[in-house]
Amino acid sequence: MKWIGVIALTVVGILAAFVAIEYLTLPIHSLPAYLGGKHARGHYQRRGSALLVLALVAFGGAAYWAVRIRRADRAAEAPAPGDSAAAQAGSADALLSSPGSAPEAPQNQ
């Protein structure tokens, strides 16, 4: 359920990139009918640029959202710090709290 937003942003990005490429590469009289505005005056470079920016923002948002979801899933799967003694045996807190168990350095005499 969390991934629906990522998928939606990716689809919007793909569609915006496709239409931006059409606006930026085709002459005005050759634009497909689904883009409309064949009799309108210019601004197709602006439309193409705006759609290109929209595609980049949508892809960036989808990537950011996907990374946040993955990090949240990994944090939920990771064991809590106090769950196992083996995981905490090598931690810095365990070593600092019991200095007597650490090996002592040899003394030069």
Which of these, 78, 86, 85, 24, lies nearest to 50 by C-alpha position? 24
Average model confidence (pLDDT) across the chain: 80
74-99 tens-digit pLDDT: 888 876 655 555 555 555 666 566 65
**pLDDT at site 1:** 79
For residue 63, pLDDT over 60 is answered with yes
3-class secondary-structure state, position 78: coil
Ramachandran category for residue 51: left, alpha or beta (phi over 0 → left; psi -120 to 50 → alpha)? alpha
Q: What does 8-29 look like in DSSP terms, one character per residue?
A: HHHHHHHHHHHHHHHHHHS-GG
**Residue 39: pLDDT band by 50, 70, 90 thresholds?**
low
Give residue 29's pLDDT. 79
One-character DSSP codes across 46-65: HHHHHHHHHHHHHHHHHHHH
